Amino acid sequence: MTEVATAARRPYLLAGKRAWVLGLLVAAVLCASALRLSPAQLIPSGSGFALLREFAWAALTPALDYEAPVPEGTAPLALKVLDSLRSTLVFAAAGLSLAVAIGLPLGALASTAWWSRAADDSLPRGGVRKLSVPVLFLALRTWIAGMRSIHELLWAVLLLAALGLTPFSAVCAIAIPYAGTLAKVFSELLDEAPRDGADALRDAGASRLQAFLFGIVPRAVPDLASYVFYRLECAVRSSAVLGFFGFPTVGYHLQLAFDNQHYHEVWTYLWALIAVAFLFEALSSSLRKRVVLR
Amino acid sequence: MSASDRSAAVEVLWRQRPRSRLLRGVLLALGAWTALAWASPELDLAGFLSERRASNLATFLQTELVPFSLRGTDWGPRELASWVLGAWRRVGADSTFATLQIAVVAMALAALAAAPLALGLARNFARREPFARSQGAVADGSLGWRATRGAARVSAILLRAVPEYILAFLLLAVLGPRTAWPAVLALALHNAGILARLGGEVVENLDPAPLRALSSTGSRRPGLVIFGVGPLTLTRGLLLFFYRFETCVREATVLGMLGVVSLGYWIQDARAKQYYDEVLVLVLFGAALVLAADLTSAVARYSIRRRS
């Protein structure tokens, strides 16, 4: 009641969610002025403008063959593009599958279904447990947050420095932050899944692990599967960008073509990447329609 | 019911379970592709476990990550803390705040651009009579509206199909590295695509009854948006905004590596000089910023959800 009364007294623009919108707009203007951004800077200079025009033209006419002569015996451009796409998908699939293997157990452990005090008899009782449970839970959550708070490219920087340019660095660079994100989302999905099935199983004498595996996990599987599929799309993008660090994915060839000013070739790679995104989009939307919404 | 009856009934239920050929095909393809990926010589798993690699890693962890001024000295937590503080004062503070500012401006621009796109691709709004009871092909079949929806949908996909990093790389060449615009624009464009798609779903899931009431009293499209769709989608819109904000901060950190002033710029700078102690501390500053943004987002989402 009191909250309603105070909300009514506040000025119109500061009440409830409007305050958020207004606050965000003010923050954005302040940040823009701190960065000294002005719309006038968006107009490219003479050379930038020429580049933009060249670039726009290249977008409509992507290269179907190399723009400059290549040594005898070089594979045609189309094959090279397909091969870079294949590499991109290899790194994405390896990285994401490793992330799933790490992230799912972590997420299951970090779910409150596991750590809540109620009906918990698998952990030691008494003072040790009172102290150890919140500490362990917090440590686990912090670990997961740490994994995903560092961007995959920064993991790549660290891993490249530590291990050198080996393909497995790229796989790990994708796998670590993605495992953190998957663990977080999975634990949230498990927390939000209805508990009635698990309670019934517990009442029927199932162990805690059985109730968790057969009562809670299946309720979260459809959402989880659709999220993993979405992350696969993200992993393809990450993997493409990792090419900028020397791995043989789309980004590598794109940067090379750009540095050689072969803008039509740049667009061939870009369109190839966009085509993959369209494919994933079409697949995931038809899957969602048939599976999740049923 | 005897045991055999029961197992027969279970058998029948099992055979009647929902099945989708598409789902099976996709799962099979994904599994096969993953297996092929791990088996492919490209990953060079055997070459990974070499002796040189191990000694590389040992040097990296034992020497290169140790702050340069502390190497070979007898240092403890206090010396380390003062070194970290020094790094924060030198480059950390300014670039961390610049990273945050880039993310905030980019997200605000993304939200502003995503709103019209989301309306344009929503099947229940972008048609002749918005929110009217569906009359099959007649209500939304006009070519103009179908083209509008298609264009909005395609541009949303195009915007988010290109990774921010590549967008920023291209924009940098056009706009030059003098300002933060390449990073801001790249983040704004990519996130506009994502927000538009998610926002379009929010509009499509709106309860049409109050909106029909509004249009029956004579509201045209602008009125419907300002007094109907806007207020009804504000909560979900804010939730989406904060969901992306966290990711946007993460991305803003790395976009600097291309030459825009954010944390990434100094990370790349330290990397070029092979000062890996500095790389690590800057990466950790970025991680702290992302965790702070993560926490802010969680608090904001919680408070917005509670109030609605």
| Residue A112 clears pLDDT 80, i.e. is over it | no
What is the reported pTM? 0.86
**Claim to verify: residue B117 and residue B33 sit in the same structural domain:** no
Mutation test of the interface with chain A: which of B17, B121, B165, choosing the one with the most A Cβ atoms within 10 A?
B165
The model's pLDDT over B241-294, given as tens digits with 9 standing for 90+, comes to: 988 998 999 999 999 999 888 899 999 999 999 888 889 999 999 999 999 998
**Claim to verify: residue A32 and residue A114 sit in the same structural domain:** no
Dist. CA B138–CA A120, nearest whole Å: 59
| Residue B88 clears pLDDT 80, i.e. is over it | yes
> What are the chain A neighbours of B158 within 8 Å (beta carbons)?
274
| Residue B75 clears pLDDT 90, i.e. is over it | no
**Claim to verify: residue A127 and residue A244 sit in the same structural domain:** yes
Q: Is A27 exposed, middle or buried (0-12, 13-18, 19+ CB in 10 A)?
A: middle
Q: Which residue has the tokens 């190839």?
A: A272
- Nearest CA to A160 out of B46, B166, B53, B67 is that of B53
The CATH number covering residue B211 comes to: 1.10.3720.10
- Asked if residue B65 is part of any domain, the answer here is no
Q: How far apart are the first and last CA of chain B?
A: 51
**Chain A residue with minimal CA distance to B233?**
A17
> What backbone phi and psi angles, to 5 degrees, belong to B16?
-90, 5
Confidence of residue A1 (pLDDT cuts 50, 70, 90): very low
Q: Which of the listed residues B60, B76, B110 is the one where a domain comes to its end?
A: B60
Please check whether residue B68 touches A, CB under 8 A: no
Looking at the complex, report in whole angstroms how far the Cα of residue A212 sits from the nearest Cα belonging to chain B: 22
The CATH number covering residue A274 comes to: 1.10.3720.10
**Claim to verify: residue B225 and residue B168 sit in the same structural domain:** yes
Q: What is the mean pLDDT of residues A192-218?
A: 84
Q: Which residue has the tokens 């609605």?
A: B308
Q: What is the mean pLDDT of residues B154-176?
A: 90
Average pLDDT, chain A: 83
Q: How far apart are the first and last CA of chain A?
A: 41
Question: Cβ distance A216 to A176 under 8 Å?
Answer: no
Q: Token pair for residue A271? A: 């369109």
Per DSSP, the three-state class of A38 is: coil
- A134 or B217, which is more confident: B217
- Asked if residue B78 is part of any domain, the answer here is no
**Claim to verify: residue A107 and residue A165 sit in the same structural domain:** yes
Q: Token pair for residue A37? A: 């951004």
Please check whether residue A168 touches B, CB under 8 A: yes
Q: Is A34 exposed, middle or buried (0-12, 13-18, 19+ CB in 10 A)?
A: middle
CA dihedral A24, A30, A31, A36 (to 10 degrees): 150
Please check whether residue A127 touches B, CB under 8 A: no
**Claim to verify: residue B166 and residue B284 sit in the same structural domain:** yes
Do the Cβ atoms of B48 and A168 come within 8 Å? yes
Q: What is the mean pLDDT of residues A256-283?
A: 91
Dist. CA A51–CA B169, nearest whole Å: 13
Please check whether residue B283 touches A, CB under 8 A: yes
- A248 or A127, which is more confident: A248
Among the partner-chain residues A31, A151, A162, the one whose CB lies closest to the CB of B105 is: A31
- Asked if residue B116 is part of any domain, the answer here is yes
**Claim to verify: residue A10 and residue A102 sit in the same structural domain:** no
Question: Cβ distance A274 to A233 under 8 Å?
Answer: no
- Asked if residue B31 is part of any domain, the answer here is yes
- B223 or A177, which is more confident: A177
Mutation test of the interface with chain B: which of A47, A157, A231, A281, choosing the one with the most B Cβ atoms within 10 A?
A157
ipTM of the complex as predicted: 0.86
- Residue A286: give the domain boundaries: 77-292
Question: Cβ distance B163 to B187 under 8 Å?
Answer: no
Question: Cβ distance A232 to A155 under 8 Å?
Answer: no
- Nearest CA to A140 out of A103, A171, A168 is that of A103
- What is the tally of structural domains in chain B? 2
Question: Cβ distance A182 to A99 under 8 Å?
Answer: yes
The model's pLDDT over B117-141, given as tens digits with 9 standing for 90+, comes to: 999 988 888 887 788 776 555 556 6
The angle subtended at Cα A131 by Cα A130 and Cα A134, nearest 5°, is: 90
Q: What is the mean pLDDT of residues B182-195?
A: 94
DSSP tag of A126: S
| Residue A117 clears pLDDT 50, i.e. is over it | no
**Claim to verify: residue B187 and residue B44 sit in the same structural domain:** no
**Claim to verify: residue A21 and residue A148 sit in the same structural domain:** no
| Residue A205 clears pLDDT 90, i.e. is over it | no
- Residue B234: give the domain boundaries: 84-307
